[in-house]
Structure 1
């Protein structure tokens, strides 16, 4: 049996053993400026910033950061939505030799404090929005955080005074103290941009980003992503588009960046790959389906990376048929398995292939890709991305790999795989096999053509009556019901079976009820008896992660609290 059975399924022009250029992350921007200096790099609220202008802003921020002591070994936090501040500061911190630590505005106070202490963040950038600044201001008194650089949304807009007045009137701005613990972003970049160049570093060893992973339990761990990890991922994505006719043209694409840039998916696919391609990146601070649908049509967006919940919202938009989405050329879904119903409906509406991929924070986040042409398989997340090797470790016997068609924990190897977990040598050792493959925690299998199928997370797998039950199978079946918009399935304790499946369901607009007996009857020919949910709960909304994918952590926590109350 071939060790790379997926290679035979690659479309013409795409090569698994392709040369994948590696560089420092700032070099991506330097190269883009050299090629497309006067083309638009960023568009935000109607204001356009060219690549030349973006590089100058980055240079100014670099000098500002260096004046604050940022250099190799220094970690700087970013607590920002999708505004130009994020892009500017990200590249400037790295250009100064520092390391970026991404923070999510949706993190609880306990998690924010943990990340600050664990990552050794003394300096952080945020905005003066009430939804952001107060959370970090509180950290100044009881964590190691020493200084906050505070930006303003309006300063990056075409009409700063008018927009600031509207934000102030709406009560969305916080007052910022003028003291030693604060500095305005405008002050940070108030210089000539002549920064001190740092010594050349090894991209494979130098950490660019500490990207914290959520996980289902416990406090998050910081994945150490090197410059080589991130630039390799960009090269891998580019190689997957090397089909004829070409999907993407360098210097000619327009990306809609709605996914939050502090998440690894958007960081790599929207921002870094966008800059590698010389694209215009249109920034949105949040996902609003009305605004997104209008922007896709009006701005003639060609590239739209998203998650399944976004695509589901787009196809359910009541006026979707009225918008011309024919400009779309490259749409990718990641973050969670894509329901087949959503895939088919989106493609029929837009005539654009919706390509599914799988990856993780620890893989920067490339892993698999769906071929843009040639063989595709429903239900599969695609083929291993160029430069990545896959193995499947037995769930029952660690250290033993299983063959094609057999389910196991997915283990991957490649230049995009993280260096390890920050300050957690034991967790790092546990995460890798003896032969150097990263254990992903995902259960899946590979067919004879090399296509990968994700079955579930090892932590989410339900052991019911001696059977391994995979929530993903149940969710796919429930999604077929015409009343269901979203569903998450988790395992709950069951006196008879040990564990049983419970489905949390959000109904489509206009649907008010779904009886449990009705759902069970609908599922009777779609699921085995051991897979049948034993409980359902209808909700107005289901919990989601910052990137917009459905999250089960909150559901597990709620069920545990509910059971604790019953025990009392």
Structure 2
């Protein structure tokens, strides 16, 4: 796909709004990410690269393990250019070791969410042709790998011994108290297909050189679209990944360099965390402090112990911090910047977070197909509220009419489309989907929004979430924002449902704050001052919990299924 940037300068009003020191027309560093991280390791080998629950890995140790595993991948498993290797790992030191080793060996990373079902994992591994999987020996995860091998989707498994990631005392305690949580590899039905990571690292194999064509060779095959259909493998080249890292690096104005510490509580297997929480800081020699999953107490303990200053997050995580009485300003005092991505950031969450932390809360925007970041609010100075910020350096965007595909004017809503070096080449073995993903060389995002006269970008909603009610466009986000202004509302999600009179009508699902109480009638009266009659929800349904995706984004898919099953057409 053509991703050259050819729009004339007058169509880039955002450039005039760039923070001082940032240049749009800049040269990007597209050296493969594994080369960059190994260079960072060589530059300061004694510095701490990774902190996992108090266990640390220096840059020198990281490089040693990356190189040793890359050599073993080549010599024992035949990994070379084009080989797909599946990683089914939560955030542990094993993930970056495996990720960079696969790339150093010439292979392509295929990320697999450990929380996916075996059926979902089977589709990804079979579609990608990933015969080799690297995973943990935690029983809950490893049993899925066993089933994939038994079904013939995966041929070989490299097992990482979870206690090896822990500091000495915790390792001993885990081995005593939680031994039952570990898979018994020697008794596994696939034991002849298992190789221990520790055995591979001990061999200290030296990998052979691999000549990478950054513009053509695929670094990551990232599956996306599972909530709307069969997941598709977005093909991200070494240049795509490195270009987006370079863009973020320049946007950060030094934020991602030592002595910064970046929190990695979002999972590395998700494209946002892979780029912002892992690749960018590690390639700059910056420490990454990890948690295997989000738990509020564990995150607060991490802040107290390591004093990090950069927190990439999703809105639900920020909301949990902002709403919790147990969280104090002192606990968050080291935080300088929180970057919100993955979903729209409600204004009420922004205000609530500001009461707990003086950090800049910058909303960003991206998608898997763009490696992923497209726009971001400034990270060093305040930005326009409710905006996803400005396009990153060397990134072009436009908005086009949803029906005609023609560009729209400033302030007019349309589909956001993107060009830039970070944009994928297409979807794996899916020419039809690849063609549909682009319009005249522009990546179609499926998101609706507009740009103001200063170049700031504002999103309204997803095209697929748009509700057509009585012929008018109704955006769920507008209703959600209105509901979130009520102090009793903790979370809300709005869907469109069939309606005999209006065609479609909005229905709101609401989770209340702990101890709060309000009736549907009272809440409707409250939002009636903020919404027009067409936007008013047909129904407000209160729930103890709202469904979320595996990275913590509120999910509409389950709500649509639930509503159809329990209420049907009305």
Task: Normalising by structure 2, report the TM-score.
Answer: 0.94
2:462 to 454, 457, 464: 457
Rounded to whole Å, the distance in 2 between the matches of 1:83 and 1:303 is: 19
Residue 492 of structure 1, aligned match among 497, 511, 514: 497
Q: 2:392 aligns with which of 369, 385, 388?
A: 385
2:530 counterpart (526, 533, 536): 526
**Does 2:284 correspond to 1:277?**
yes
Distance 1:138 1:148 in 2: 11
Tell me how far 1:383 sits from its aligned partner. Answer: 0.7
Contact 1:77 1:125 in 2 (8 A): yes
Match in the other structure for 1:411: 417
Equivalent position SS for 1:132: helix
User: What is the deviation of 1:304?
Assistant: 0.8
Pairwise CA distance, 1:508: 1.2
1:116, 1:556 → 2: CA distance? 28
Q: 2:554 aligns with which of 538, 550, 557?
A: 550
Match of 1:331 among 301, 321, 338: 338
Cα contact 2:34–2:103 (8 A) shared by 1? yes
Confirm whether residue 146 of structure 1 aligns to residue 155 of structure 2: yes
The residue number in structure 2 matching 1:366 is: 373
Counterpart selection for 1:68 from 31, 53, 77: 77
| Map of 1:195 onto structure 2 | 207
Separation of aligned partners in 2, 1:372 and 1:183: 43
Distance (Å, rounded) in 1 between the aligned partners of 2:308 and 2:345: 22
Aligned partner of 1:481 in structure 2 is: 486
Does the C-alpha gap of structure 1 residues 205 and 249 become closer, same or farther in structure 2, counting only changes over 3 Å?
closer
CA contact (8 A) 2:318 2:349 kept: yes
Q: 1:505 aligns with which of 502, 507, 510?
A: 510
C-alpha distance in 2 between matches for 1:34 and 1:251: 15
Question: Who is 1:11 aligned against?
Answer: 19
Q: Secondary structure at the match of 1:262?
A: coil
Deviates more, 1:321-330 or 1:303-312: 321-330
Q: Does 1:87 align with 2:96?
A: yes
What is the CA deviation profile of residues 308-329 of structure 1, one whole-angstrom value per residue up to 9, with x for unaligned ones?
1111111122222263322112
Deviations 1:500-548 (A, max 9, x none): 111111111222x431111110001101110111112222221112221
Pairing partner for 2:298 from 262, 272, 291: 291
- Bigger shift: residues 16-25 or 405-414: 16-25
The answer as to whether partners of 1:311 and 1:346 remain within 8 angstroms in 2 is yes
Is 2:38 the counterpart of 1:33?
no
Q: Work out whether residues 415 and 444 of structure 2, in 8 Å CA contact, stay in contact via their aligned partners in 1.
A: yes
> 2:370–2:423: 8 Å Cα contact kept in structure 1?
yes
In the TM superposition, residue 106 of structure 1 has moved relative to its aligned partner by 2.4
Does structure 1 residue 468 correspond to structure 2 residue 480?
no
SS in 2 for 1:285: coil
- Equivalence map 1:109-508=2 (5 Å): 109-159=118-168, 160-168=171-179, 171-176=180-185, 177=188, 179-198=191-210, 200-242=211-253, 248=255, 250-321=257-328, 323-373=330-380, 376-398=383-405, 400-434=406-440, 436-508=441-513
Between the aligned partners of 2:447 and 2:18, the Cα distance in structure 1 is 23
Contact kept? 1:293, 1:323, Cα under 8 Å: no
Distance 1:111 1:303 in 2: 33
Contact 2:329 2:356 survives alignment (8 Å): no
1:116·1:143 contact (CA, 8 Å) conserved in 2? no
Measure, in 2, the Cα distance between the counterparts of 1:313 and 1:365: 24
Q: How far apart are 1:174 and its partner, in Å? A: 2.1
Q: CA–CA distance in 2 between the matches of 1:463 and 1:361?
A: 27
Q: Matched residues in 1 for 2:561 and 2:31: separation?
A: 42
* Equivalent position SS for 1:20: coil
Identify unmatched segments of 5+ residues in structure 2: 1-8
Alpha-carbon distance, 1:249 to partner? 6.2
CA distance in 1 between counterparts of 2:381 and 2:44 reads 32
Residues in 1 aligned to 2:483 and 2:54: alpha-carbon distance in whole angstroms? 41
Runs of 4+ in structure 1 deviating by more than 3 angstroms, as ranges, are 372-375, 560-564
Shift of 1:32: 0.7
- 1:108-145 Cα distance to aligned partner (Å, 9 max, x none): 33221111111111110111223211122111222431
Q: Structure 1 residue 334: deviation in Å?
A: 0.4
1:562 deviation in Å? 3.5
Q: For residues 322 and 460 of structure 1, do their structure 2 counterparts lie closer, same or farther at Cα, with a shift above 3 Å needed? A: closer
CA distance in 1, matches of 2:328, 2:197: 42
The 10-residue stretch of structure 1 (178-187 or 291-300) with the greater mean CA deviation from structure 2 = 178-187
Conservation of the 8 A alpha-carbon contact between 2:389 and 2:456 = yes
Distance 1:322 1:73, change over 3 A: closer
| RMSD over equivalenced CA pairs, Å | 1.7
Deviation at 1:445, TM superposition (A): 0.5
User: How many residue pairs align between the two structures?
Assistant: 556
Q: Give distance in 2, aligned partners of 1:374 and 1:249.
A: 15
Paired residues for 1:94-113 under 5 Å: 94-113=103-122
CA distance in structure 1 between the aligned counterparts of 2:201 and 2:222, rounded to whole angstroms: 26
Aligned-pair CA distance for 1:257: 0.5
CA distance in 1, matches of 2:123, 2:452: 41
Sort the Cα spacing of 1:213 and 1:84 in 2 relative to 1 into closer, same or farther, 3 A. same
- What's the CA shift string for 1:281-317, capped at 9, x where partnerless? 1110000011112212331111110011111111122
Contact 1:252 1:278 in 2 (8 A): no
SS of 2:122's partner is: helix
Is 1:5–1:450's contact at 8 Å kept on the other side of the alignment?
Answer: yes
In structure 1, the gaps of 5 or more residues are none
